[in-house]
């Protein structure tokens, strides 16, 4: 990750910032690895164990519910006690959840846990991630916001998103290798990686002070809400994007089996390739397109929405592996532009002492799709396989209209340029 130097910043401080952002980048890889791991391996594994699509959906669903509830809580807490403690809680919770998931399946295969109890047990252990792991991303996003100027915000947030993206790329590849040592080995390996990341954050991540002084605590107690006029338009688009992303992540494995006639083994292998290529496209968007071309937040959102809509059209009408994978790749580009664009837009719209709170809110809405898909998308899939993609595409068309016409989106660039000199105040540049 690139540092963001300022004229008044000492070499020592600049070096600490670079080291901190690099450590955070590496630590967050495990989150992305785990997401593609679950999406690629869980559906075939569940079918082999006699679980239905709806049961698989509920494994994701309760975790998503807890993520929606807790992400804003962790974000606001990071505004009070600092980013580092919340990041540590999130990584540790994620490690426990992922390792516990593998352990429960292992117990079931050894007949030490009945298949009747397996599904609810997996749902509950996955919910640990939603409850505690939901603190990682909002605290990390706020950590970057504390250390970037307004004009640099989209690039900094994109790098944090890229950490997730790198994990989603290498995750399926590592999982494929580890599967040769056992079907559950990837779960334990990712859990160990997350614990290692937590240890690195504990020992090496610099944060010498809280994000704000006592003078700002009264403002935090006002608790920025989802209907705050500064952010509600971004919240709405984030909801639509979340439904689109969850449709791709949760439906693709089943879609390849039912539309292309793949076996469970083939689905696990080929979907891993497709998801890896999708993640690579998102990473290209975040580390190349955003960083090299310095696109405005408005451009990221507009072009991201157009690409995502095109991707769903391809997924709806595609009937071959190559065509469907091209749809996944284009969706990766679209999502890779839209997600950091939304996080940056929301960050630019609030005060420095509200960065954790707004990051938690965007993170919360980002999980709503995973909560709704099992109760809306999966039943719709059982009726009409292309249904979840049709629903997601329609919501993104509506989002594009909002992005083009809503005044909050249209004013983003002007606000960033006007307020550039306000950044890196005592509040915004701690540790």
Domain ranges of the chain: 15-207+224-422
Whether the predicted pLDDT of 4 surpasses 80: no
How far, in Å, are 140, 199, 401 from residue 26 at the CA level?
Answer: 12, 12, 36
Least confident of 17-26, 107-116, 228-237: 17-26
Look at residue 431 in the predicted model and tell me its pLDDT. Answer: 47
By the 10 Å C-beta count (0-12 exposed, 13-18 middle, 19+ buried), 276 is classed as buried
Q: Calculate the average pLDDT of the chain.
A: 80
Fold classified for 15-207+224-422? Growth Hormone; Chain: A; (1.20.1250)
Structure-model confidence comparison of residues 426 and 400, the more confident one: 400
Whether 78 contacts 86, CB under 8 Å? yes
Taking residues 168-187, report their average pLDDT. Answer: 76
Taking residues 362-368, report their average pLDDT. Answer: 81
Instruction: Dump pLDDT digits (tens) for 217-268.
Output: 444 445 677 788 888 899 999 999 989 988 887 788 788 888 888 776 677 6
Look at residue 425 in the predicted model and tell me its pLDDT. Answer: 42
Taking residues 363-370, report their average pLDDT. Answer: 79
CA angle 396, 365, 137 (to 5 degrees): 115
Whether the predicted pLDDT of 329 surpasses 90: yes
User: What's the pLDDT band for 168 if we cut at 50, 70, 90?
Assistant: low
Q: What is the pTM of this model?
A: 0.74
Tokens of 285: 């968007």
Taking residues 10-20, report their average pLDDT. Answer: 62
Whether 198 contacts 88, CB under 8 Å? yes
Whether the predicted pLDDT of 73 surpasses 70: yes
Whether 87 contacts 205, CB under 8 Å? yes
Q: Return the C-alpha torsion angle 21, 27, 32, 35, nearest 10.
A: -150
Q: Return the C-alpha torsion angle 254, 39, 168, 84, nearest 10.
A: 150
Find, among 364, 177, 366, the residue nearest to 272 by Cα: 177
Tokens of 210: 């809280």
How far, in Å, are 71, 180, 181, 232, 358 from residue 225 at the CA level?
Answer: 13, 48, 47, 9, 9
Whether 224 contacts 231, CB under 8 Å? yes
Taking residues 190-205, report their average pLDDT. Answer: 89
Look at residue 158 in the predicted model and tell me its pLDDT. Answer: 78
Whether the predicted pLDDT of 34 surpasses 90: no
For the chain, how far is it from start to end, CA to CA, in angstroms? Answer: 18
Percent over 90 (pLDDT), the chain: 21
| Site of tokens 């920025």 | 224
Secondary structure letter of residue 388 according to DSSP: H
With a CB cutoff of 8 Å and minimum separation 6, the contacts of 217 are 80
- Give the Cα separation of 177 and 180 in Å (integer): 6
Look at residue 172 in the predicted model and tell me its pLDDT. Answer: 67
Look at residue 8 in the predicted model and tell me its pLDDT. Answer: 42
Cα four-point dihedral sign 61, 46, 105, 273: negative
Taking residues 157-168, report their average pLDDT. Answer: 75
Phi-psi map region of 104: left, alpha, beta (phi>0 left; psi -120 to 50 alpha) = alpha
Tokens of 62: 């309760």
By the 10 Å C-beta count (0-12 exposed, 13-18 middle, 19+ buried), 180 is classed as exposed
Least confident of 4-8, 279-283, 340-344: 4-8
Taking residues 357-378, report their average pLDDT. Answer: 81
- Give the Cα separation of 357 and 225 in Å (integer): 9
Look at residue 10 in the predicted model and tell me its pLDDT. Answer: 45
Which range has highest mean pLDDT (20-24, 144-148, 346-350, 391-395)?
A: 391-395
Percent over 70 (pLDDT), the chain: 86
Whether 153 contacts 161, CB under 8 Å? no
Look at residue 403 in the predicted model and tell me its pLDDT. Answer: 93
Tokens of 162: 């890229």
Look at residue 159 in the predicted model and tell me its pLDDT. Answer: 77
């Amino acid at each position: 990750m690139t540092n963001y130097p300022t004229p008044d910043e000492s070499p020592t401080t600049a070096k600490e910032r670079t080291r901190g952002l690099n450590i955070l980048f590496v630590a967050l890889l495990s989150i992305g690895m785990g997401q593609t791991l679950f999406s690629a391996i869980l559906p075939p594994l569940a079918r082999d164990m006699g679980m239905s699509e709806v049961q698989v959906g509920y494994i994701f669903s309760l975790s998503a519910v807890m993520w929606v509830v807790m992400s804003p809580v962790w974000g606001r807490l990071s505004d009070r006690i600092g980013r580092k403690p919340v990041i540590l809680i999130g990584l540790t919770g994620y490690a426990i959840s992922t390792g516990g998931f593998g352990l429960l399946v292992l117990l079931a295969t050894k007949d030490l846990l009945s298949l009747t109890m397996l599904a609810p047990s997996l749902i509950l252990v996955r919910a640990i991630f939603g409850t505690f792991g939901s603190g990682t991303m909002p605290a990390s996003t706020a950590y970057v916001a504390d250390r970037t100027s307004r004009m640099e915000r989209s690039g900094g947030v994109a790098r944090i998103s890229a950490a997730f993206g790198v994990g989603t790329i290498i995750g399926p590849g590592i999982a494929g290798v580890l599967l040769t040592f056992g079907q559950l080995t990837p779960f334990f390996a990712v859990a160990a990686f997350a614990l290692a990341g937590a240890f690195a954050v504990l020992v090496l991540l610099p944060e010498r002070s809280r994000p704000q002084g006592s003078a700002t605590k009264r403002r935090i107690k006002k608790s920025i809400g989802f209907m705050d006029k500064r952010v509600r338009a971004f919240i709405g688009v984030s909801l639509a994007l979340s439904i689109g992303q969850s449709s791709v992540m949760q439906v693709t494995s089943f879609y390849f089996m039912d539309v292309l006639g793949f076996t469970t083994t083939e689905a696990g292998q080929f979907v891993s390739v497709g998801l890896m290529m999708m993640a690579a496209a998102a990473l290209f968007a975040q580390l190349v397109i955003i960083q090299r071309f310095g696109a405005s937040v408005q451009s990221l959102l507009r072009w991201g929405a157009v690409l995502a809509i095109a991707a769903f059209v391809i997924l709806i009408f595609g009937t071959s592996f190559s065509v469907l994978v091209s749809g996944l790749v284009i969706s990766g580009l679209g999502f890779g532009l839209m997600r950091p664009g939304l996080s940056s837009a929301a960050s630019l719209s609030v005060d420095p002492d509200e960065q954790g709170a707004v990051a938690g809110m965007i993170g919360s809405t980002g999980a709503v799709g995973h909560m709704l898909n099992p109760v809306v998308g999966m039943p719709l899939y059982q009726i009409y396989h292309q249904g979840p993609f049709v629903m997601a595409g329609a919501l993104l068309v509506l989002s594009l209209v909002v992005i083009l016409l809503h005044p909050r989106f249209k004013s983003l660039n002007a606000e960033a340029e006007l307020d550039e000199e306000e950044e890196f105040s005592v509040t915004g540049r701690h540790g």
